Amino acid sequence: LALVPAWAALVEIHEHPQLGPLWTLFALLLVWVADSFAYFAGSRFGRNKLAPRISPGKTLEGVWGALAGSGLVAAI
């Protein structure tokens, strides 16, 4: 499911060489913000385990923190 949108984004970035680096940095910024917000929200509010057998440290609150943080930065 992620391959088609990723491929389309890469094609779009390639077609606009003047804006391509900015879009790439923006994508990396969103990943960094999502990881940071997930960590801090999960550390502070994390109670409900997301998938304890696969990754015991992940919480549902961390997911919500990641979505909120990256959504906020993307909206700005």
Q: Residue 48 — φ and ψ, nearest 5°?
A: -100, 115
Distance CA 20, CA 42 (A): 33
User: 33 with 74: CB under 8 angstroms?
Assistant: no
Dihedral sign, Cα of residue 26, residue 31, residue 34, residue 37: negative
How do residues 10-63 score in pLDDT, each as one tens digit?
898 889 889 988 988 999 999 999 999 999 999 999 999 999 999 999 999 999
Q: Is the pLDDT of residue 1 over 90?
A: no
